[in-house]
């Protein structure tokens, strides 16, 4: 009796039975992560499936589970952003404090358009409505990793409230510009968008704010 042995090389063969395969484990992992980011960005966490991701990556669904266990783990790994939040914050807080709103919008838009960021951000936002892990990622990124440190560095009163208000502005901007692509904002020059939206963000960051009414 012949024992059938299924290994990673077999599972990594593209659908359709072709003899070609991914160039090793790292290439297969990268292909799966790329397919996952695209699927989560297009469909959100709930609608994206491991089977569809595997098909897009050209591997067997069992190999996706072998590397990432389940969809939750795959989502978490795929949502890695290709830039350093600390460097972005440092660039935002340097310079004229009266122009920090413009700088934060500019840097935020630049981050959206860097490497795989657009797929990652879009996936987070699409998924956040129905998936608590994605909502946590958005909150962590906007209010604690990007905007929160800026309000702390500015030494303004009510830093947490200000960070949340700025976050709401930035998420709304991203939704309209990148996810739903409402014109003319969707195709507006990035520098123009920073100059137009910056003053509203500036008011949230440094303007008078009396939450007690």
Q: Which of 78, 102, 122 is the last residue of a domain?
A: 78
Determine the structural domain holding residue 55 and report its residue range: 11-78
pTM of the model: 0.77
Question: Which range, of 25-34, 52-61, 199-208, averages the lowest pLDDT?
Answer: 25-34
Q: Which of 53, 78, 103 is the last residue of a domain?
A: 78
CATH number, domain with residue 36: 1.10.10.60
Question: Residue 4 falls within a domain, yes or no?
Answer: no
106 and 54, same structural domain?
A: no
Question: Which range, of 33-37, 162-166, 171-175, 206-210, averages the lowest pLDDT?
Answer: 206-210
Read off the DSSP letter of residue 94.
S
Instruction: State the Cα–Cα distance between residues 207 and 201, nearest whole angstrom.
Output: 9
Q: What is the pLDDT of residue 20?
A: 39
Q: What is the pLDDT of residue 39?
A: 95
CATH number, domain with residue 136: 1.10.357.10
Q: What is the pLDDT of residue 200?
A: 95
Instruction: State the Cα–Cα distance between residues 212 and 85, nearest whole angstrom.
Output: 32
> pLDDT, tens digit, for every residue of 20-35?
344 567 788 999 999 9
């Amino acid at each position: 009796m012949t024992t059938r042995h299924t290994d990673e090389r077999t599972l990594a063969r593209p659908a359709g039975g072709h003899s070609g395969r991914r160039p090793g484990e790292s290439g297969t992992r990268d292909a799966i992560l790329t397919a996952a980011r695209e699927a989560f960005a297009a469909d959100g966490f709930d609608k994206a499936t491991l089977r569809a991701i595997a098909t897009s990556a050209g591997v067997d669904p069992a190999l996706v589970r072998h590397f990432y266990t389940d969809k939750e783990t795959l989502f978490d790994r795929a949502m890695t952003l290709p830039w350093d939040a600390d460097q972005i914050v440092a660039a935002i807080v340097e310079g004229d404090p009266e122009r920090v709103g413009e700088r934060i919008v500019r840097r935020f838009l630049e981050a959206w358009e860097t490497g795989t960021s657009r797929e990652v951000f879009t996936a987070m936002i699409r998924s956040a409505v129905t998936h608590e892990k994605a909502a946590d990622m958005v909150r962590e990124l906007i209010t604690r990793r990007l905007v929160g440190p800026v309000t702390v560095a500015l030494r303004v009163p009510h830093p947490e409230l200000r960070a949340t208000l700025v976050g709401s502005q930035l998420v709304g901007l991203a939704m309209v510009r990148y996810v739903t692509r409402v014109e003319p904002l969707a195709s507006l020059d990035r520098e123009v968008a920073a100059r137009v939206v910056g003053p509203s963000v500036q008011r949230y960051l440094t303007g008078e704010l009396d939450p007690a009414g």
